[in-house]
Structure 1
């Protein structure tokens, strides 16, 4: 049953460039399909979450993460009576703006771009789907609906203060009402992102042997999940025991979001989708108790995984790759691909050139960035040796 505050495809605010809508697909199904068929979405296959892409076939990439987020988001949206198609479109596109090498790459590119307006991956996702994908005859980008673009821009909440240039540029042409909250569907995508990475970072950290089951089973939530598995399946082998425990962690987080969000929505009583945007708080949320538990898990992961010595060494090396590539292309933009050179010719000043170089580097996969560094500059030996 659809909730009254669910987004209604019959009342979409439409697209920047008017199009005849599909006979067989809703506007948000069409958005989802355009996202899946985009070049940027395919490149997520070779962009990492925490580890560099070549470090192991089983570690999550941005692509597998996005698929997991979409699956969780559809489940929550369905339970809350929201529009699952819009939720899925936002979930699948939410990481399109990420650089190679995960957050380490983003931090480096943001530092290099500070004189030119900085770098923000959420704003870059909007830039990709509104400008950088160039396949259609009548427009740049994917010409997604207002609701999908709004969800990409502010699924983490209202965007206040100075806007990232990539977002300000589009918002000036197509007002996304950045001062308000996003739809309930976009908020679901944001919480599904939290659920997915909290779970899979534990899994990937265990697989990388950065910590052991015996350590994480003392953490909140995990303690009860491991105990439940041991009670039901005494003597279970370690691999199956881990999987059973972590899938229960998934379930705890999803059930908590659904229960808390139902209570929040019941109290707020939004009568339509637009009412959700005007509230002074998000309507999709964890309970305070579970949120506190998750903060303890994140603190553990920060110390034992995100800043583990092996990961720090990887961060140091990839910082060097991007720190070398950016000034190289700034000084010798003729080395950009041929189909980028018309944009170079139109760059009016150094800021415009820097933003073009940033777009190019941000779109690289891990492997492509390393290959270009080796070809143009000389390579990072520790990373290059594993290619």
Structure 2
């Protein structure tokens, strides 16, 4: 009998001890869910924590919860309060905090401090959980190639580059964007391809090529233009950028806009043997660049005598210049047409000599024959002169005799 009583007392004592331990720490951590599931440095993280009251009959009241974050995190909402959690009941709270951009990839321990009332006793407890910060994806932008860094107005330019995943994870939604520094509209250029190239996902170690096409419009002004290529992905640490510049050239376009001549001391256009003429060559530069060291020269036969080269120098874009040649027509020039070979040389935008040529024809007429009466007029004039001289001599002799 005494043995039975002792056994029952021991059982009651053990039961009471077990019940006392069970009701002291009522709240347990049922689950913890991190969103986003894969977090990166700089992300905002929501941590949903579900508590369960493991007690049989006692309620957990006036519950206060606070997260203790490592130094690589910045708090947004890390404290919460719940009035009561009944036995076997679950309740969920959501905490918010940010991982710093300087955070390194790894697993970080976070402690949850709990305080609540259990049957009039204030209970303090600490639960431990972890947050995983993944390494940011890394992509490289390399092998930039430009078909022509010194294009002319109207020419097409092809730009290409390689995008490679050099990180430890797949690069999701990778893209490369072409932009023009200082202009959102690519002023002066026509974009022949999309300015944003979507590459999709790039596996670790994989590389993809992007190609862009541009054309310098006819309305563009010569000068220096700078462009940018930026590669990025959804989980990348930041864009990778490469810049390049194009030196856009225009071309001088020199034309002969007019050729004319005039005859000295006459208003007509009938060139005869022995005449003096002025030949004028008018030039216009219709291009976008200056024509430099412009020289106009002419080639003729020996019938035309005089300087046959004229230095004009610089002719600005959309400006004009002229060369004038003063020539004497030989008295022995052949009757008929004579060709003038006109040659213009100038230096273009690349300091290369350019040449244009043209041919101009003039007709030389025979000089007019002297009048048949001119001989008699000359004799009469001489006789009159002799008569005047003799008369003066006779008069002087008569005066001396007096």
TM-score by length of 1: 0.18
Question: Is the radius of gyration larger for structure 1 or structure 2?
Answer: 2
Higher strand proportion: 2
Length-normalised TM-score, structure 2: 0.17
